[in-house]
Structure 1
Amino acid sequence: MNTLSCLALSIFLLSIIFTRYRKNLSSLCRTKHAQEPGCNDLKKMAPYPAQPIKGRERYRVMMDVRKLDVENWLTVDKNYMDEHEVRSQLLETEKSKVLQCLPESYDACLEALEEVVEFLCQRFSNVFEQKKCGDETTVHNKMTGETFCFGGKNKDVDPLEIAVRLTMEDLSILMKNEEDEYYLAASASLFPVGWTVQDRIGWTISKLHNPVPLWHQQVANSVSKFLARLTPASPMERSNYFVEVKRPDEDLFEILYRPTSLSEENPDPTPQDIVIRRERQTFRRLPRTGALVFGVKTILTTLDELPMQELQNLAKEIRSWPEYVGEYKGREVWGPKALEYCEKKSRMYQQDPEKMMV
C-alpha cells in the first residue's frame, strides 16, 4: 500500500470514529437533558404522554395494567407552577376535604415521602435538592422557593402533605385491615372526581368502587389478587379517562377540583368546553412498611385538541356504553355535542385527509 492510500485510509477511519463520537455525544446530551431539566426548561416540557383512547367496541371494566415506566414514576412539566398554585390553594382552604391520614399510616406516609424526595432529587436534580442532618432531611424546591424539613422529631407537617406539595401527582396510602383487605389509610387527593377524601377515608377498595358499574362482577377479584402480588420490584401502572363539561368562565382551580360531579351547568357546550380528563395511575409497594402507594396524575385535554384517531375512538366507545354506564358517565350532558363534533371532523377528514393532518 503506497503513502497516498495509507493517508486516504487513515482519513476514512478518522471520519468514521468522529461521526460515531458525535452521535454518542449527541445521544448523551439528549439523555442528560431529558433526565435533568433546568428550571427554565420546565416551561417547555410537554406533559408525560397520556395513553390514547383505544376505541373498544364493547364496554367492559378492565384493569389493563402494565409495567411502570420507573424513570417517570413522578413527572414534572410546563404545567407544574399553575397546578402547584391550585394544590397550595386547596391545602389552605379545603385541607380537611383533600388530605386525611389515619394515625396508623404515619410510618408509611413518611416512607412514601422519602421515596418521593429521593426520586425527584435524582430525576430532576436541577429543580429539587435535599440535605440530610442526622435523622432529619431538608428538601428545597427551586421553582417555588419552598423548603421542607422532615424526619426525626420533626412532625409538625404531615409527610403526605409535603409529598403532594412537591409532586404533580395525588398520592394515597393503601394498607391491609384485619380482614386482609386493602383500605384507604391516608390520601392526598386534590383533584378528585365526584368525591372527597374526608368522606371516604378508611373505606376498603371494594367499598370505594361500589358506584362503578360492573366493577364487582368483572374485576373485583382480579384487583385483590393484583394488589396482593405487587412487590417493591414490580411496580405497575394503568390509565383511565372521564369526560367533563366546563363553563366558559371556569378557571383551572374549578376544572381540576371536582368533588361533586364531572358535569357542570352548561347545556350547550362547545368542543372547547368538553374536557377529556385522563388519569395515569401508578402502584408501588414500599419496601420498609409494605404499604402501597397509589399515585394519580391528571391530564386535561379539550375535545378540539384530540387527534383524529382518538376522536373516532372516543365516538366508538361512547356509542358502546350501555344506558346505565352512559348515565354514570354523564353522557346525557355532553354526549350529543361530542358525537356531533366527532362526526363533523370525521367527514372533513374523509374529504381532505391531508388538510386535517396539518
Structure 2
Amino acid sequence: MTTFSLVVLPLLACVCAIHYRKQLLQWLSIQLGFVKSANHGCCATQSPDLKRMAPYPAQPIKGRERYRVMMDIRKLDVQNWLTIDKNYMAEHRVRSQLLHEKKTQVLQCLPESLDACREALDEVAEFLCRRFPCMFERAGDDGLPFIENRMTGERFALGTRDPQEELTAALEAAVRLTMEDLSILLMNEDGEYYLAASASLFPTGWTVEERIGWTISRLHDPVPLWHQHVANSVSKFLARLTPTSPMERSNYFIEIKRPNENLFEILYRPNTLCEKDLDNPSPQEIIIRRERQTFRRLPRTGAIVFGVKTYLTPLDELPMQELENLAKEMKSWPDYVGEYKGRNVWGRKVLEYCATRTSLDVLMGEVNEKVEV
C-alpha cells in the first residue's frame, strides 16, 4: 500500500464524515425548528404540505452561569401567535384521545369563564383562517358561522350563544384546532389572576382537574424561589397586559422517556417527568421538553388567554452549543433546585454525553485542520 493510501485516504474519509455531519446538523436544525422554514405558512392557492413545515423556532438554552427564576418576557411575534407544523396530525390524534378518555382531567371551565372561552374561540378561528387559509376555512351554514379544519375534516360552530351549549365546548373546539394548550385567566375580588378555564392536554406534573380555580401564586408554590424572585413582577405584568401588547416567554424541562413509550405517554405527563427508578437513561431517552408560552388580553371580555406550545428534542439531537449551555446551567443549580428538576436521575448522563460530544468535535476539528494544510 502506498503512502497516499495510508495517509490521505483516511483523512479524506474524515472530511466526508465532517461534511455529512454538518449537512445532518443543518437538516436537523430546520426539522427541529432552530432555523425558520420558508414553508411555515401557506396561502389560499397552495396545498398544505405538513411534512415539510418545520416547527416555529424554539428559544435556545442560554447557558446562564447563575441560577435565578426569571420571567424573561419578550414581545410576542403576533404573526405566529399560534403555529402549525409537521407534528400537527400526530399531536392532534393524541389530543383527540385525551379529550375522549381523560376529558375531566385535561379540560375544565368555571361558569364565569364561558364568555371569555367563546371569545377565545372566535380569536383562534379568525387567526388560523387568516394565517393558514389553506388549512382552515370560515363559512356559514343557515346563518350559523363555523370553522372547518381541512386537515381533519372537523367543523366547529362559532359565535353561538346557545344556553344549552356545554360549558367546555368553546375551549375544547379551540384546542382541537391548535397545537397549543389554552387557558383563561380572570381576576378575582382580591386582584389576583386565577385559572378560570383550562385545556392543558400536555401538562408537566399536574392536571387541570386538580388545579382549576387556583391563583397564579398558588399554581407556582412548588417552584423553588418563584415567590422570592418573580411573584410580584408576574402580578404587575399580568395587570398591565393590554390587547395591543401581547407577550411571550420560554421554559424548559428534562423528561425521561421509558422504553417503548408512545407519543401519548410522552406528552401527557400529569405525575412526573423523571421516574427515580430510571437512573441510567440513554441520550435518546433524555428529552428536552420546551414550552413557548404566550399571553394575550382579549379585547371584549378583558380575560387573558395563556397559550403553551410544547416542543420535544432528544438529547442526542440537541445542537452542540445548546448541549454545552445545558451542562453549564445544570451545574449552577442549588441542590434543592436540582432535586426539583430531576438532575439526580439524568444529570450524570448529560455531562458524560456532553464530554463525549466535545471530545469528538475537537478530534474532528484537528483532522479538518490537517486536511486543509
TM exceeding 0.5: yes
**Counterpart of 2:60?**
52
The CA RMSD over aligned residues, in Å, is 1.8
Distance 2:270 2:66 in 1: 29
**Equivalent position SS for 1:352:** helix
* Change over 3 Å in CA distance of 1:167–1:39 after alignment to 2: farther
**Cα offset, 1:295, TM superposition:** 0.1
1:292 to 2:298 alignment: no
Distance 2:124 2:100 in 1: 22
**Equivalent position SS for 2:146:** strand
Distance 1:199 1:255 in 2: 20
1:306 to 2:306 alignment: no
Distance 2:101 2:345 in 1: 30
Q: Which amino acid aligns with 1:281?
A: Q
Q: Which of 331, 335, 338 is equivalent to 1:326?
A: 338
1:76 to 2:84 alignment: yes
Distance 2:257 2:130 in 1: 37
**Cα offset, 1:136, TM superposition:** 3.2
Report 1:267-278 matches (<5 A): 267-278=279-290
Q: Which of 23, 31, 36 is equivalent to 2:43?
A: 36
Distance 2:67 2:39 in 1: 42
**Cα offset, 1:248, TM superposition:** 2.1
Q: Which of 90, 95, 99 is equivalent to 2:107?
A: 99
* Change over 3 Å in CA distance of 1:36–1:345 after alignment to 2: same
**Equivalent position SS for 2:41:** helix
**Is the contact between residue 40 and residue 56 of structure 2 (CA under 8 Å) also seen in structure 1?**
no
Q: Which of 242, 261, 264 is equivalent to 1:250?
A: 261
CA deviations over 1:86-126 (Å, ceiling 9, x no partner): 00000000000000000000000000000000000000000
Q: Structure 1: 5+ residue runs without aligned partners?
A: 1-29
**Counterpart of 2:272?**
261
Report 1:226-237 matches (<5 A): 226-237=237-248
Q: Which amino acid aligns with 1:120?
A: L
**Cα offset, 1:31, TM superposition:** 7.6
**Counterpart of 1:85?**
93
**Counterpart of 1:346?**
358
Q: Which amino acid aligns with 2:131?
A: R
Q: Which amino acid aligns with 2:92?
A: H
* Change over 3 Å in CA distance of 1:176–1:304 after alignment to 2: same
Report 1:170-181 matches (<5 A): 170-181=181-192
Q: Which amino acid aligns with 1:146?
A: E
**Equivalent position SS for 1:338:** helix
Q: Structure 2: 5+ residue runs without aligned partners?
A: 1-36, 369-373
* Change over 3 Å in CA distance of 1:241–1:32 after alignment to 2: closer
1:141 to 2:149 alignment: yes
Distance 2:201 2:40 in 1: 30
* Change over 3 Å in CA distance of 1:209–1:39 after alignment to 2: farther
Could you list the runs of 4 or more consecutive aligned residues of structure 1 that deviate by over 3 angstroms after TM superposition? 30-35, 37-40, 132-136, 353-356
* Change over 3 Å in CA distance of 1:196–1:169 after alignment to 2: same
CA deviations over 1:153-198 (Å, ceiling 9, x no partner): 4424610000000000000000000001000000000000000000
Distance 1:205 1:105 in 2: 16
**Counterpart of 1:208?**
219
TM-score (norm 2): 0.84
**Is the contact between residue 41 and residue 131 of structure 2 (CA under 8 Å) also seen in structure 1?**
no
Report 1:140-179 matches (<5 A): 140-154=148-162, 155-156=165-166, 158-179=169-190
Distance 2:338 2:120 in 1: 37
TM-score (norm 1): 0.88
Distance 2:335 2:171 in 1: 39
**Counterpart of 2:14?**
none
**Is the contact between residue 111 and residue 288 of structure 1 (CA under 8 Å) also seen in structure 2?**
yes
CA deviations over 1:266-293 (Å, ceiling 9, x no partner): 3321100000000000000000000000
**Equivalent position SS for 1:203:** coil
**Equivalent position SS for 1:34:** coil
**Is the contact between residue 275 and residue 302 of structure 1 (CA under 8 Å) also seen in structure 2?**
yes
**Is the contact between residue 272 and residue 304 of structure 1 (CA under 8 Å) also seen in structure 2?**
yes
**Cα offset, 1:135, TM superposition:** 7.0
Q: Which amino acid aligns with 1:44?
A: R
Distance 1:131 1:355 in 2: 61
Distance 2:332 2:264 in 1: 32
**Is the contact between residue 241 and residue 279 of structure 1 (CA under 8 Å) also seen in structure 2?**
yes
Q: Which amino acid aligns with 2:179?
A: M
**Counterpart of 2:20?**
none
The alignment-based identity, stated in percent, is 69
